[in-house]
Structure 1
Amino acid sequence: MIFSDELISAIVQTVKNEKGTPIPAGIIYKKLQKKFKDKIIVFKCIDHLVENNTLKQLYTKKLVMGYENGPILKETAFEGIIFLNAKGDGFVKRENSDQSEVYVNKKNINNALHGDKVLVCYMDKKNDNPNHVFKDGVVLKIIERNKEYYTGVFIKQNNKYGFVFDDNKHTYRVVLDNIDGLVDGHKILIKIKNIVDNVAYATVSKVIGHKNSVGVDILSIVYDAGLEPEFNENVINASKEFNSIISKEEFIKRHDLTSLDIITIDPATSKDLDDAIYVKKINDNLYKLYVCIADVSHYVEYNSIVDNEAYKRGTSVYLVNQVIPMLPHNLSNDICSLNPNEDRLSMVCEMDIDNFGNFKNIDVYNAIINSKRRFSYEEVNEYFEQKTDFSNEKESIKSMLDQAYELFFILKEKREKLGYINFEIPEPKIILDENEKIIDIQQKKSGQAQNLIECFMVAANEAVTIKFNQLKLSSDFIYRVHDKPDEKKIAMFEIEAKKLNFKFDAEVKNWQPNTIAKWLKNNINNPNKELINIILLRTMAKAKYSIVNDHHFGLALDNYTHFTSPIRRYSDLVVHRLFKMFILNKTEYTNEIRYDLNARLKDICEQATKTEIVATNTEREVNSMKFAEYMESKIGQVFNGFVSYITSFGIFVQLENTIEGLARPENILGDYYEYSDNLSIYLGKKTKKILTLGTKVKIRVVGSSKITKKIDFEIIEF
């Protein structure tokens, strides 16, 4: 609908005359009704002005002046990444920064898409709002698109069609070059070719399926993340050339460990078994630990079709009901997988460990193993908890498990002394029915078997890093590194933790690897420890891959890599290659190949880090969507929870089943609650009651949308 300039000017001037005082839409109409008698037109014009940011509507429904531009300061231009919100506004971060510093109104995003690399500059504009921490800016140009492909719903009615992005951060109108075969409700993957004047011109890349078909909801998230659930024909054909037959020559070249009672311990549903263990107690002061890892690098040749595909994928992605593997199934689930009672090629890290948890000797070599038993975590946990005596198992395997349990506690004690941070945060387990509809959410149970395997894998990852560095080879290496938190995050943690009666016994700013572990031990009886762990996790820096050994703060280790999962992580596959190319199988590789791999290590680290982030975000997106689907059937129901996060636009509440939802200020019942930025709390205007982190609350579910992946609560009691 087109509105007259006269009506627009009259509405804007009426709001301006209030000099910042919010005014209801009804009062605006009363002031203008003598000249503009059509009430519906006036109200629709007000909605139009809100939509384009000329006016701003507060949550009280009252109106104030919206966004106004200022002069552009082109000399302040810099490159950054733009992040859009559902309103179409953007916030720009410099690359490699955690903090946004520029606000870009949707009028000024210059056809940018969420995640694009942009050139942005400041406006010469004063802001009277003390809570406005961002400088205003304008996108000058798009330097690099974040991605080309997007998913959404095709809508067709009569002879007209539309496209609605799955990600509500994108509000452009889409024009498709061909809609043949598309029907109303199809979920499609489009490739955006160009954006002009807020219109995206695109082509249909793939029809994913109808929005109501089983599995299409998850597949849409997968495709939107840029992931490919299927392998192309060339990769499949190349992987068919491999077989699991081990030649006599290979037996001669490798250590034969087939006589050892090596076992695997994994989730019951796992199909890609890439690690196995064996423990032998030598004497009262010494244990021998074998960590045997699938030898993927023997089959996947460097720079081959399968290798290049694995590099591109970077990691397997584990979703609610499926795995998107890094390697084709015949490799990941069969030839490379350490399946029971099958001879398998392996790379082994053999460690002699004393009863203080110290490495006395480390060896890394090629081997052939034969797993004698495949255990599930549940089975081993029952054995460790003495709920079963494994009466049908070989005595040698039971004895080995007992010795492994002893060594686990030795290594665990050492890790705790060093300052290993164990975040005890409940993880959700989503239960689906045969139609992939969510029917329940449970907390994942983790016992000593899971902890034992994790502990042994950490030991192997540390040991192989130490071994590689001891040999002082001419090659770089891939390290798994983790920085200490930056000072801003540490300061924020101090503020939030003190609200939860967290006790500090040292200067908060002087964090060492053992600082957090010591604090957590001193706060063992704090009733808010779950929330404290969540805040700590938010405070932590993100781990990444690097050719520079900057140590691992979270694990309190000076030497660390990823060696133990080459079936599902490309970084681990490359670490295996480094050992083979520079130590174990030098004669099988040319100097040109060694030089080429070494020259690519930095790029491999960046790709591995990037794909890990994409995988993690995809897993979270799928979970969020399923959580919202689950809560759609719970609207009107009441649950208990606690305040897990506070922002200026509302309060996040976490329920006992780990689901989190947002209660906006207007949905806090019993009073008018205002946000205090300095204290990060909500304060009742009349009652003076305070809502802060950790506050126990009773909520009612008032909204939930599988499409937007958002859940809305109202706080009814606290």
Structure 2
Amino acid sequence: MKKHTDPSKDPFLDRESEKYETPVPSREFILMALKSFKHPVKAKQLIHHYQLSDPDLIEAFNRRLKAMIRDGQVVKLRAGFVIVEAQSVVQGKLVLFKEGDGVCVTEDNQSIPIQEHGLRGFYDGDKISVQVRKLADSKEVVGRINQLLEATVPTVVGRFYKHHKLFKVQSLDRKVSAHITIPKGHNAKAKPGDIVLVRILREERFHTHYEPVGEVIEILGDFATTGIEIQMAIKKFNLPTVFPQPVLKACEKLPAQVTPQSKRNREDLTKLCFVTIDGEDAKDFDDAVYCESHANGWRLWVAIADVSHYVKPNTPLDKEAKLRGNSTYFPEAVIPMLPEALSNDLCSLRPLEDRLTVVCQMSVNLEGKVTRSVFKRAVINSKARLTYTKVAAIYAGDSTLIKEYERQLPSLKALLEVYEALNKQRKLRGALDLDTIESKIVFDDKGKIEKIVPVVRNVAHKVIEECMLATNVCAAKLILRHKKPGLYRVHDTPPSEKLKQLRAFIHELGLSLNGKDKPKPADIAQLLSEVKERADRHLIETVILRSLSQAQYRPENVGHFGLAYPHYVHFTSPIRRFPDLVIHRIVLDILEANTKTTYDFETLAKMGTHLSQTERRSDEATRDAVFALKCHYMQDKIGEVYDGVITGVTHFGIFVELKEIFIEGLVHVSQLGREYFQYDPIKHRMLGDVTRQSYQLGQSVRVKVVRVDLEDKKIDFELSNEHVSSRKEKAKNKKRNHNSTKQKSEGFSEKKGKKAAPKDKKAKKLKGKGKKVKKKAKRDKIFND
């Protein structure tokens, strides 16, 4: 903080004195101070800077700061006040986060942070107009809402309860932190404790004393109801579950089987030994593969369900699929993008049934490069429905399965070979290979969690992944070659601020990252390779993963950083992803030489924003439901002790994931010890001021479950006594070893660490006094630190 400034030096003091009996620093004087600091400044720091001590003066000063926020002269960030410079006005949709923050997402998929104080009365999904301001001396921008263009009709999931004589609902959505009043006759016979869906009624959103009023429109059950977690997530994230009547009527008109007429003008590939390879519980089979080995490499066929044959643009089926954006997968449940008549039947590449497909036929040389690719409309007949587990077992030499799938064996062998060749190219490109662990919830007959197990990716997963990646790249190249507008799956370079933090973190570990301000994927891949054998490998991989950008759908081709591709689209899953259906239509426009394209650039830009949002919505809904299920699972585990690993470090504590069951909870900073713990964002750790005990990302700890909150979906841990005792013992040993040399010189015996008997009466007399002095010095050190 800079030295104090005398308020009498205010250039506009005379003007302020005319207006106010006791003037506070003028707006211009405050702006001058903020500009000189070049970093966010808190109100109390400004008060100290201007040497304000009178309570009335301080109150007036705080009112002035609020007025400056209101008028857009400054913005209040969590770190303090910053000057802003007016830029422009944009429109977009408001997206709220559970932390209380919000962003305006524009049609070109730009996210503009909204000043936190300006969100009162607004709801997730509102269409808003935003004044965009650039932070002074920074590239960052913030937005201030200046108009509500189109109000959403908000619905809230909450717990119904009675307060005195009033019915109320406590919101269980942290985006809407409110207690909603339910008038008489609007409770739909809900009982206290019920989980309900409420529609907000009152529109006086921006009244100073605004309190939402609503009506119960659905009773979901209570916390003991089986499947309540998924139902809550569906309602909370407004996921459409019921197909409208026009969509159902369109499905009624679909043929029961693939018709002979629909097979016309398609290549007949039914004699090729295509197979599908998916998980055990898969029902919608998007893709089938077949491969032949040749002297110069391989010929690879990837057949994808031709959804575009049944779902035409601007039809009810198309509009509903676009609205949903993608299928949403919950444990033991799925909300499909397309009705089951298509997703699980006509479009699904079921074994021994003719199916309409779009096929990508590729020639792959011995180096793993795709030298030629051709897209065609075709008919296939899958010869087997295989699983990843079975294929991996075949590759491992399972004689029973080898005999059972003898006819498919040549193709399966060629698929493994082509995968190994393609994977070599993947490594040469510098694609990132981050070894993340996913978990799967296993339910019992009553729909409750029986266990949580890790999902093991075997070689069969990787074979299919490489085949799909190659197909997606070929589709992107085709679109680029014909200069058609496309909807690319883009993954931008890491943000500069996150890169800066990553470099600072690895520097502390004696590592470095090449590429200066713009590292290439190969630079990060090289870093990952260097840490592969290190004990802290997972820690470093986690920090790298959190430094990366989020993938999006955009018509601008900026490449895919993580996969190290200069161009990439999603083509291989049109049953469950609308972007893939869009790419199918563009590819077919090219194949059929249509002069008029299905989509223009502007349409694709709007679509990309929407589809990126629906993808995030599904991901958030799935995470929400999974964590709610895990909270239920942990309800009867309070008091139990588990081994865990630190997965997150913040100023308020450490997040720990239990190793055996993959459940995350918080150890609050107050539970770390009786000393003050300093949060170090660069090293991702908490450090004790006195003992220097540290808790760092990736570190193993032993914790005890102390609280489970079903409403807030929070699990609290504390360090177990075993961990604390072990920590204290290590600290004691460290201190003892550190002082061993010093102890000898002060008369301590080496063997037992006890002080030798004094050799004269004077020494004996001083013995007790010395203990008191040392004890006092130690106490003073603790308080001074």
TM-score by length of 2: 0.75
2:704 is the alignment partner of 1:700: yes
1:453 maps to which of 458, 464, 484? 464
**Correspondence for 1:160 among 166, 183, 200:** 166
For residue 115 of structure 1, report the CA deviation from its aligned partner: 7.1
Cα deviation 1:3-55 (Å, max 9, x = unaligned): xxxxxxxxxxxxxxxxxxxxxxxxxxxxxxxxxxxxxxxxxxxxxxxxxxxxx
The letter for the 1-side match of 2:243 is F
Q: Give yes or no for the alignment of 1:506 onto 2:501.
A: no
Distance 1:497 1:486 in 2: 17
Equivalent position SS for 2:549: coil
Q: Which of 516, 533, 547 is 2:524 aligned to? A: 516
Query: C-alpha distance in 2, partners of 1:251/1:609?
Result: 34
Quick one: distance in 2 between partners of 1:697 and 1:304? Answer: 56
* Matched residue, 1:111: 121
Residue 551 to residue 399, structure 1, CA distance change in 2 (3 Å): same
More helix per residue: 2
Question: How does the TM-score come out when normalised to structure 1?
Answer: 0.81
Q: Which residue of 2 aligns with 1:24?
A: none
Identify the residue that residue 644 of structure 1 maps to in structure 2. 647
Change (3 A) 1:714 1:138: farther
Aligned partners of 2:171 and 2:180 also within 8 Å: no
Q: Is the 8 A contact 1:101 1:135 kept in 2?
A: no
2:657 corresponds to which residue? 654
Query: Hey, what does 1:629 align to over in structure 2?
Result: 632
Paired residues for 1:65-214 under 5 Å: 69=63, 70-73=65-68, 74-76=71-73, 83=96, 90=101, 102-104=115-117, 109-113=119-123, 142=148, 148-156=154-162, 160-176=166-182, 178-193=186-201, 194=203, 195=205, 196=207, 197-214=209-226
Contact 1:502/1:523, CA 8 A, preserved across alignment: no
Which residue does the alignment assign to 1:488?
497
Q: 2:376 aligns with which of 338, 362, 365?
A: 365
Deviations 1:365-398, CA, capped at 9 Å, x for gaps: 1000000001011100111122345343354410
1:614 to 592, 612, 617: 617
Q: How far did 1:507 drift?
A: 5.0
**Paired residue for 1:528?**
536
SS at match of 1:200: coil
Deviates most, 270-279 or 355-364? 355-364
Shift of the 410–637 alpha-carbon distance from structure 1 to 2, 3 Å rule, reads: same
C-alpha change, 1:644 and 1:157, in structure 2 (3 Å) is: closer
Residue 685 of structure 1 deviates from its aligned partner by 2.9
Deviations 1:412-467 (A, max 9, x none): 11111101112101111112223322232111111000111011000000011112
Kindly provide the amino acid, as one letter, of the partner of residue 148 in structure 1: P
Instruction: Report how many aligned residue pairs link the two structures.
Output: 631
Aligned match of 1:557: 565
Distance 1:585 1:249, change over 3 A: farther
How far did 1:122 drift?
12
Paired residues of 2:363 and 2:371 also in contact (CA < 8 A): yes
Change (3 A) 1:143 1:696: farther
| Residue equivalent to 1:218 | 230
Q: For 2:673 and 2:454, how far apart are their aligned partners in 1?
A: 30
User: What is the aligned partner in structure 2 of residue 275 from structure 1?
Assistant: 287
Structure 1 position 109, deviation (Å): 4.7
Whether the 8 Å contact between 1:257 and 1:369 is mirrored in structure 2 is: yes
In structure 2, the partner of 1:229 is 241
Question: Is 1:349 aligned to residue 349 of structure 2?
Answer: no
Question: For 2:501 and 2:442, how far apart are their aligned partners in 1?
Answer: 36
Q: Point out where structure 2 has 5 or more consecutive residues left out of the alignment.
A: 1-57, 74-85, 134-139, 728-785
Greater shift, 77-86 or 175-184, is seen at 77-86
Aligned to 1:302: 313
Give the partner amino acid of 2:325.
Answer: G
Judge which range, 270-279 or 666-675, deviates more.
Answer: 666-675
Q: CA deviation at 1:263?
A: 0.3
> Could you say if the C-alpha distance between residues 529 and 680 of structure 1 is closer, same or farther in structure 2, counting changes exceeding 3 Å?
closer
Structure 2 distance, partners of 1:697, 1:234, is 56
Q: CA deviation at 1:145?
A: 5.3
Measured in 1, the distance between the counterparts of 2:142 and 2:243 equals: 45
The alpha carbon displacement at 1:343 in A equals 0.3
Deviates more, 1:463-472 or 1:421-430: 463-472
SS of the equivalent of 2:403 reads: coil
Shift of 1:117: 6.8
Amino acid at match of 2:291: V
Once the 2 structures are TM-superposed, how far is the Cα of residue 100 of structure 1 from its aligned partner? 5.5
C-alpha distance in 2 between matches for 1:246 and 1:114: 43
> 1:292 aligns to what?
303
Contact 2:113 2:141 in 1 (8 A): no
Which residue in 2 is equivalent to 1:255? 267
Note closer, same or farther for the CA distance 1:306–1:417 as it changes in structure 2 (3 Å cut). Answer: same
Structure 1 contact 702–713 (Cα < 8 Å) conserved: yes
**CA offsets, 1:247-306, max 9 Å, x none?**
3343331000000000000001100001000001122x2211100000111011211111
Aligned mates of 2:560, 2:682 — CA distance in 1: 33
Q: Partner amino acid for 2:269?
A: L
Tell me, in whole angstroms, the C-alpha distance in 2 between the residues paired with 1:429 and 1:136: 39
Equivalent residues of 1:103, 1:136 under 8 A apart? no
Over 3 Å counting, the alpha-carbon distance change for 1:140 and 1:187 in structure 2 is: same
Give 1:398's aligned residue: 409
Aligned identity (percent) is 30
The offset of 1:618, in angstroms, is 0.9
Q: What's the counterpart of residue 584 of structure 2?
A: 576
Q: Aligned to 2:485, what secondary structure does the other structure show?
A: coil
Contact 2:513/2:523 (8 A) holds in 1: no
> Cα deviations across residues 53-81 of structure 1 (Å, max 9, x unaligned)?
xxxxxxxxxxxx99965341214377796
Change (3 A) 1:478 1:85: closer
Moved more, 286-295 or 212-221: 212-221
Q: Is the 8 A contact 1:261 1:397 kept in 2?
A: yes
- Return the letter of the residue paired with 1:525: E
Task: Return the alpha-carbon distance in structure 2 between the equivalents of residues 345 and 445 of structure 1.
Answer: 32
| CA drift at 1:636 | 1.4
Alpha-carbon spacing, 1:142–1:498, altered in 2? closer, same or farther (3 Å): farther
1:698, 1:146 → 2: CA distance?
A: 46
Q: CA 1:451/1:443 → structure 2, altered by over 3 Å: closer, same or farther?
A: same
Distance 1:277 1:83 in 2: 42
Q: CA deviation at 1:614?
A: 0.5
CA shift, 1:620, in A, is 1.1
Q: 1:375 to 1:596 in 2, by over 3 A?
A: closer
Q: Secondary structure at the match of 1:238?
A: helix
Correspondence 1:438 to 2:442? no
Tell me which residue corresponds to 2:39.
Answer: none
For 1:429 and 1:258, the matched residues in 2 are separated by: 36
Deviation at 1:632, TM superposition (A): 2.2
Q: 1:365 to 1:438 in 2, by over 3 A?
A: same
**For 1:208-246, what per-residue CA distance to the aligned partner results, in whole angstroms no more than 9, with x for missing partners?**
344432212211111110102232333222112112433
